[in-house]
Amino acid sequence: MTDLVVPAPSLPSVPTATGGRFPVRRVYCVGRNFAAHAREMGHDPDREPPFFFGKPADAVVADGADTPYPPGTDRLEHEVELVVALGRGGHDVSVADALGLVWGFAVGIDLTRRDLQAEAKRLGRPWDLAKGFDHSATVGTVVPAAGVDPTSGAVTLHVDGELRQSGDLADQIWSVAETIAALSRSVALAPGDLLFTGTPEGVGPVERGSVLRGAIDGVGVVETRIV
């Protein structure tokens, strides 16, 4: 075996309700998957198929850990989401088989440098630095899929105790199964992949010192403090 010329990076992971840790291979996110959120961002949800963007695996922040306020932005915004953790992989997976790939679910917070995203949209450039920056994906404890109904459940996010986002998984335009199937037509999915499945309306800015608490009925909670 060829010796590595620099130290190998550590494998990111998040805790699970079973006591072990879930290794993170890739992080995918689906955009504008709640109609009200799509409209608040100026888009028509009835005309768009699902589209995806990514975050680095090492952008993941475990539940309860602090999140550094990122450089290069004056508008950091929160988006609470259901996170799907895949225990099996596949390519061109059918909707009927898609949930069979899922190991578990968690609550996540997708942080966005909204001013950078707006500029990228204006110039027709990629969203990478607006979405895929360091510490941009907070993920709570992953619970086994057997105990979760991903088709319904209240979704909320509080900032410093104030309710900012409120919705329901039933409001998703594309179901979890449909989203997994759509993604698998473009990339080969694998164990360790995380999929953020979209956020309800009410996204907004956070500041240094803000405490964010996301919750999804039947899944759990996630909390982080912006520092």
pLDDT tens-digit readout, 142-192: 999 998 999 999 999 999 999 999 999 999 989 999 999 999 999 999 999
- The β-bridge partners of 105 are 84, 143
pLDDT, position 50: 85
- Which tokens sit at 27? 């992080």
pLDDT, position 33: 86
pLDDT, position 31: 84
Q: Which amino acid is at 54?
A: G
Q: What is the dihedral of CA 188, 197, 180, 46, to 10 degrees?
A: -120
Least confident span in 11-15, 34-38, 80-84, 150-154: 34-38
Q: Where are the beta strands (DSSP E) in 24-111?
A: 27-30, 52-55, 60-62, 76-78, 80-86, 102-110
pLDDT tens digits along 117-146: 999 999 999 999 999 999 999 999 999 999
pLDDT tens digits along 51-93: 899 999 999 999 999 999 999 999 999 999 999 999 999 999 9
Judged against a pLDDT cut of 90, whether residue 48 lies above it is answered with no
> Percent of the chain having pLDDT more than 90?
87
Judged against a pLDDT cut of 60, whether residue 41 lies above it is answered with no
Pair 176, 13: CB distance under 8 Å: no
The DSSP 8-state label assigned to residue 46 in this structure reads G
CA angle 36, 40, 44 (to 5 degrees): 70
Task: Please classify residue 171 by burial: count the beta carbons closer than 10 Å to its beta carbon, then call 0-12 exposed, 13-18 middle and 19+ buried.
Answer: middle
Q: What is the dihedral of CA 89, 90, 93, 99, to 10 degrees?
A: -10
pLDDT, position 54: 96
Alpha helices (H) along the chain: 35-40, 95-98, 114-123, 128-131, 176-184
